[in-house]
Structure 1
Amino acid sequence: MTPERKKLMNILILGCAFMLMFTAFQTCGNVAQTVISSLNSTDFHGSGYTSLAIIYGVFSASNLIAPSVVAIVGTQLSMFFSGLIYSAYIAMFIQPFTWSFYTLSVIIGIAAAVLWTAQGACLTNNSDEETIGRNSGIFWALLQFSMLFGNLYIYIAWKGEIVISERDRRTVFIALTVISLVGSVLFFLIRTPSASRLQPQEDDGGSDSGVSAEGNMSSQSNSSRALNAFVKSIKLSVTKEMLLLSVSMAYTGLELTFYSGVYGTCIGAINEFGSEAKSLIGLSGISVGLGEVLGGGIFGLLSKNGRFGRNPVFLLGLVVHFLAFYLIFLNVPGDAPISSRDGTDSRAFVDPSQFLALFSSFLLGLGDSCFNTQLLSILGTLYAEDSAPAFAIFKFVQSISAAVAFFYSNYLLLQWQLLILVVFGFFGTISFFFAEWGAANSRHQEIRYGSI
């Protein structure tokens, strides 16, 4: 097998492993609050929203130490052990206890930071200037398919269920745990590639076994790289462009919370949907996934082409999301996010419609793909020499805002949550416009002075 085919195979394995892991984890997050609502009449007392707030809060802080962990352990083992922690969190729902629920919420936040840092290193180590765009697209597409399969399983398994029984809960989470474990094991199929032209100085991808005779020098080098990345992150975080983009990044965290945890819970709480309510959570996740896959493919190509610029795509995402929020406001009762295990009998402004609920899910996924593809594109353009610190800031801001959103989702009615999304979406789009115009001016200046 040629080196290029070997690298492509590594990317395919990486994408399939993440697809399986997040098929399990995203499905778990989508149904967690609904499942917990059925548990809170027992000795278990917890909140899915609070758990996810803890996860994203710890995830944000752990981005500061994740590069050091990956440098010491290596990308392959970092992803494997992080995957085991993801599996443990999912398995906890088989026989949940309040203490284990919140303890694993903290641990998985650390694992998430290590996992995504290692993923970035693996993707970079298996790419060069010509293949980084293609490989990123392959990984994105495979990852987004995770929105489809687990939620389809939920739809089939919970069809006709009013309250999630202990037997149904255990069956679902045993299956999800096995799927997550299979994804973790797949990381061992990734083989160490030859040095990438993107990072010729790095050698932390692959199996990373043993300690060489130059172990002390290697350790010192790893520490220096981790320290340099931290210093660069601090410096980049206060630049004009990054401050502007941080508003857009914060919005992606807020809307991530809404479509991945809150909205599915709202649909499952609408008693007007009858026996279909719980299974509709799965269909909602599938609809979000379809929007993500479609948008990721189309807008990823537009971003690569660059003919129309990023602003029109970002603006389209805002329009699509505003339409989704308006339809949700009309269709979903205001108390749906915080209703009890018995659901809500309230009505919004129209009779609850399954079609509107699922169409809104599709729009949420489509808009999310607009924002993420353009943010990834502009970060890669503005910070080509400092991509790791730049993407670390992205994850830091996104996860902080997601943690805040999961916290307030315990208390705020739907209309107030939608208002927060509208305000941040509007200002996030305006700030992205200014950052994009700045990037365009920089490119024009480079072309102008380069031609003199």
Structure 2
Amino acid sequence: MTQQLSEVDAAADGESSSPPPKPLGKKLLRFNSPLAQVSLIGLVCFCLPGMYNALNGLGGGGQADHTVADNANTALYACFGVFGVVGGAIHNLLGPRLTLFLGSLTYPLYVAAFLNYNHHPTSQIFPVIAGALLGVGAGFLWAAQGAIMTSYPSPNRRGTYISLFWCIFSFGSVLGGLLPLSLNFRRGTTAASVNDGTYVAFMAVMLVGVALTLLFLPPHKIVRDDGDTAATTSSTSTSAAMEAGEVLRLFGDWRMLLVLVPAWGSNFFYTYQFNNVNALLFTLRTRGLNNVVYWGAQMLGSLGLGYLLDFSFASRRKRGLVGVAVFAVLGTAIWGGGFANQLRYVDGEWDDLIDFKDGRRYAGPFVLYCSYGMLDAMFQSLIYWILGALTNDSQVLSRYAGFYKGVQSAGAAVSWQVDFHKTPLMTQLIVNWALITVSYPLLALLVFLGVKDDDSLVSSSVEDGKDNKDTKLSSLIGFH
């Protein structure tokens, strides 16, 4: 009788009488593990955004004239800015499989538009419409990706899993960079636009990515090696009205306000780097080679930062602060090198294109361009790690990831128009450098206020506006 009363008392206190879940161990072939699902989303991004990045990294979408790519990418990122923010809500309503499938369909359509433009260069309508549709699809895909990457791994291994994803994803861009390099190599140093075969090859790989999205499992079926489910959430169900309200609340969340400038700047530099460094300085075949190494450098940058964020110190907050400091030192050095390089062609004119066979003449700009790629991966990996350390709630993380990608894409939309309007290149460089520099103290403040060392203290909900960190932030910036 005493045992029965104890069980009743435990149930009344909200405690389960069932034993805790048993560790499952590290089974590499277990498909419902975070490792398998994060690897799968890496493969999907290998085939879809990876190929898109490889094509875009050529400058002008592989075209000699940047105008059509500038307009298409402006439409893309303008739509991405909206649907990125709501993408987290869409993911919470539809689940990862359907969200990813709908988003993936827009990628091969975008490449098909540039293939069509190769034969109808007087009409930009198809590329611009395809760019807008890709913005919608990319908002869906990247919100789901962010939720999977930040909520599925255990908190003490998020940096490692982010690095794993980034390496698989970037390797897609590496191989994607080999496509135009191999298919256009024999065209010599005078070719201006890529051939039809390049676009067809990109589309074929993207269609594989579309098929892979059908393999994803719902979050509640993902089980970590310790037996815990990955779908930790403060609510058992959600609705369109609830998600709309939660998305609106993000714009008043102090965490997201601190993320605004870093998110805006984290893709703003792509236009400058792709169009006004790679496409302006190098021959077509060398641009393809640079693309390969640019994305390869991303793998190294993400691996190094991931190790630092997971294994460098016992204190999670200290790891985050050191990560920001390392990123700040490297960022200052690399963009300083970019400034010195830009002084060589302040007027934006570079008549004698550099080929990879040019030896010393090629070495300096090549190292700079690769360093840009390494810094990009470090920047985005750092932001994802910080977002993942703010909460354990998988639904909240979906919205955080969507907000980040939405703001990031709005910034990218502006950057493509900055290039379209022929803004002086030195001005573009200074704006990019300034955005990165302002991000350093903001990310450090977010780590200091929002990242806790004890994972049991991390909120599983956004209903923590009255906690100590909010009070501390209010006293710092002067409002309550």
Normalising to structure 1: TM-score of the pair? Answer: 0.78
Structure 1 residue corresponding to 2:334, chosen from 311, 318, 321 = 321
- Compared CA separation, residues 33 and 146, structure 1 to 2 (3 A): same
In 2, Cα distance between equivalents of 1:321 and 1:261: 18
Deviations 1:65-89 (A, max 9, x none): 3244434543213212322210110
What is the aligned counterpart of 1:230 among 212, 236, 247?
Answer: 247
Q: 2:292 aligns with which of 276, 286, 299?
A: 286
Match of 1:363 among 359, 368, 371: 371
| Separation in structure 1 between the aligned mates of residue 409 and residue 451 of structure 2, nearest angstrom | 28
Alpha-carbon separation, structure 1, partners of 2:406 and 2:429: 23
Judge conservation of contact 2:76–2:134 (CA < 8 Å) in 1. Answer: yes
Structure 2: segments with no counterpart, 5+ residues: 1-23, 118-122, 224-228, 314-318, 459-467, 469-480
CA distance change for structure 1 residues 225 and 267 in 2, over 3 Å: closer, same or farther?
Answer: farther
The residue aligned with 1:94 is: 115
- DSSP 3-state at the match of 1:37: coil
Instruction: State how many pairs are aligned.
Output: 403
Taking the aligned partners of 1:162 and 1:89, their CA distance within structure 2 comes to 26
Once the two structures are superposed, residues 101-138 of structure 1 have per-residue CA deviations (whole angstroms, 9 ceiling, x without a partner) of 11111111111101112223444675454665543332
* Distance change >3 Å, CA 4–CA 27, structure 1 → 2: closer
Give yes or no for contact 2:163–2:381 (8 Å, CA) kept in 1. Answer: no
Task: Return closer, same or farther for 1:394/1:279 CA change in 2, 3 Å cut-off.
Answer: same
Separation (CA, whole Å) in 2 of partners of 1:393 and 1:192: 22
Computing the radius of gyration from Cα coordinates, the structure with the larger value is 2
Counterpart code for 1:139: F
**Letter aligned with residue 190 of structure 2:** I
Give how far 1:432 is off. 2.9
The answer to whether the aligner puts 1:426 opposite 2:437 as a matched pair is: yes
Match of 1:183 in 2: 209
Indicate whether 1:83 and 2:99 are aligned. Answer: no
Task: Describe how 1:39-438 pairs up with structure 2 within 5 A.
Answer: 46-96=67-117, 97-123=123-149, 126-129=152-155, 132-159=158-185, 160-164=188-192, 168-192=194-218, 194=221, 197-200=229-232, 221-236=238-253, 239=254, 241-268=255-282, 277-307=283-313, 309-332=322-345, 334-336=347-349, 344=351, 353-385=361-393, 386-410=396-420, 411-438=422-449
Mapped contact 2:146–2:402 kept (Cα < 8 A): no
The separation in 2 between residues aligned to 1:200 and 1:440, in whole angstroms, is 18
One-letter code aligned to 1:230: V
- Asked whether the 8 Å contact 2:86–2:402 carries over to 1, the reply is no
Counterpart amino acid of residue 378 in structure 1? I
Taking structure 1 as reference, are residues 288 and 121 closer, same or farther at Cα in structure 2, changes over 3 Å only? same
Q: Residue 86 of structure 2 contacts residue 399 of structure 2 at CA under 8 Å; is this kept in 1?
A: no
- Let me know the Cα RMSD of the aligned residues: 3.4
TM-score by length of 2: 0.74
Tell me what 2:58 maps to.
31
Alignment partner of 1:301: what SS?
helix
TM-fit CA distance, 1:92: 1.4
* Separation (CA, whole Å) in 1 of partners of 2:325 and 2:89: 38
Matches of 2:171 and 2:397, distance apart in 1:
26
Q: 5+ unaligned residues in a row in structure 1: which ranges? A: 41-45, 204-216, 269-276, 337-342
Structure 1 residues 429-450: Cα deviation after superposition (integer angstroms, max 9, x where no partner): 233334344457998xx89x9x
Give the letter for the 2:333 counterpart. V
Q: Per-residue CA shift, 1:40-77, capped at 9, x if unaligned?
A: 9xxxxx42122212211110111243244434543213
For 2:28 and 2:158, the matched residues in 1 are separated by 15
Query: Are the aligned partners of 1:318 and 1:367 in contact in 2 as well (CA < 8 Å)?
Result: yes
Cα distance change, pair 123–88 in 1 and its aligned pair in 2 (3 A): same
Give the match's secondary structure for 1:254.
coil
CA distance in 2, matches of 1:138, 1:62: 26
Q: What residue number does 1:273 align with? A: none
Shift >6 Å, 4+ stretches: 1-4, 440-443
How far has the Cα of 1:333 moved from its partner?
A: 5.7
Q: Which amino acid aligns with 2:309?
A: S
Q: Which residue of 1 aligns with 2:476?
A: none
- Matched to 1:5, the amino acid is R
Distance in 1 between residues matched to 2:157 and 2:442, nearest whole Å:
30
Question: Do the aligned partners of 1:333 and 1:346 also contact (CA within 8 Å) in 2?
Answer: no
Q: State the match for 1:211 in structure 2.
A: none
**Judging changes above 3 Å, is the alpha-carbon distance between structure 1 residues 414 and 255 closer, same or farther for their aligned structure 2 residues?**
same
> How far off is 1:261 after superposition?
4.6
* Residue range with higher mean Cα deviation, 90-99 or 245-254: 245-254
Measure the CA separation in 2 of the matches of 1:430 and 1:67. 27
Q: Is the 8 A contact 1:244 1:431 kept in 2?
A: yes
Q: Report if the CA contact (8 A) 1:320-1:364 is conserved.
A: no
1: distance between equivalents of 2:107 and 2:347? 32
Percent identity for Structure 1 against Structure 2: 17
